[in-house]
Amino acid sequence: MIDDAIRVLAGDCTVITDGTAREEYRGRVTTLVKPDNTVLVHDIDGYQPVAWLTRADSVSSDRSDGFTLVAKKDTQTLRIAAHEQDGFAHYPASAAGTPVGDCPDCGGALVRSSGVDCVNCGTRYGVPSDATIREDSCDCGLPKMRVERGLAFNVCLDRQCESLDDAVTEAFDREWDCPESGCEGDLRILRRGGLLAGCEHYPDCDTGFRVPSGVVDGECRCGLPTFSTPSGTRCLDATCEGVLEQPPKATSGD
C-alpha cells in the first residue's frame, strides 16, 4: 500500500499562528496534514481554511498531555492543541487524476495527473506533458502513450519496458548535420533533462537544440528540419527565422 498518508485531527481545538503576527482561534475544527507537510485547519464557515502552513519544514505531535500538533517553517509556527479530541487517524493517499487503465501489478486504477500513478500500490510512471495515453496496451499490460518527437511514437508508459529515447535515437541520430560554420559533425540524440540534438564534437562544438513536440514536416532555409507543432511550424533551432513558407494543404473539392 501507499506509504504517503493524510493525517486528520478533529475536535475542540485552540489554533495559534505565530510569525509576523500572532493570532489565536478556538472551535471544533478539522486539521489536515498532507504528505508534503502542508497543514490546513478547517472550520464550519467558508471554503478557505482558518489557518494553514504550506510545506512546513517540520510537523511534530505530542500526546503526553492531551494532543498537540506543531508545524514550523522558517519563522512561522502553527500550533493546534486539542481540548477534546473527536478523532485522529492516518489515511492512505495518492495522486488523483483521469482514469487511464489498470495496474498490471496489483489491479488498481491507473490515473493521470502530473504523471501516471496507481491509486493502490503507488507505482508511478513519468510521462511527457504532451503525451496522449492510448487505449491499447503493451505486452506488459500497461497502456501505451503517443508522443510526437519528430515522428509520432507509440511506446509503453514504462520507459524500462519500451524506451522513447531509443525510438527517437533510432529515427534521428546523425540524421542532421551540425549547422555551425566550419563544423563537419553530425547531430546526435541525447538526453540532457529533455531530448536534445547535439553536435557529436561537444565540447569543441556546443551546438545543440531541444527536440520539440511535433513531427518533422520539411526543411528550413538554414538546412535544419522544420517541425509541425501545436503552435505552428518552427525550425529545430527555435531562434531561427528562416522557416520556408509551407504550401497550403489541399482540401476536398480542389
Please, which pLDDT band fits residue 192 given cuts at 50, 70 and 90?
confident
- What 3 state SS string does 76-109 have? EEEEEEEEEEEEEEEEECCCCCEEEEECCCCCCE
Instruction: Give the number of domains in the chain.
Output: 3
Q: Is the per-residue pLDDT at 111 higher than 50? A: yes
pLDDT of 243 strictly over 80: no
CB–CB of 73/39 below 8 Å? no
In this structure, the answer to whether residues 115 and 176 fall within a common structural domain is no
With a cut of 50, say whether residue 119 has pLDDT above it: yes
**pLDDT interval class at 24 (50, 70, 90):** very high
- Average pLDDT for 186-195: 92
107/250: higher pLDDT:
107
Residue 170 is inside which H or E element, if any? helix 164-172
Is residue 204 over pLDDT 90? Answer: yes
On the question of pLDDT at 248 being above 70, the answer is no
Lowest mean pLDDT among 91-95, 111-115, 142-146, 249-253: 249-253
The parent domain of residue 182 ranges over 170-235
Choose one of 48, 66, 92: the last residue of a domain: 92
What are the distances in angstroms from CA 230 to CA 113, 130, 148, 215, 241? 21, 10, 11, 10, 18
State whether 14 and 88 are in the same domain: yes
**The domain boundary residue, chosen from 92, 124, 154:** 92
Mean pLDDT of 176-190: 94
- The residue-averaged pLDDT of 177-193 equals 93
CATH code where residue 78 lies: 2.70.180.20
The answer on pLDDT for 254 being more than 50 is no
| CA–CA separation, 83 and 227 (whole Å) | 64
Last residue of a domain, one of 140, 169, 198: 169
175 has a pLDDT exceeding 60: yes
Q: What letter represents residue 254's amino acid?
A: D
Q: Write down the pTM of the prediction.
A: 0.73
pLDDT(252) > 90: no
- Considering the domain architecture, whether residues 85 and 9 belong to the same structural domain is answered as yes
- Residue 14's pLDDT band (boundaries 50, 70, 90)? very high
Indicate whether 51 belongs to any domain: yes
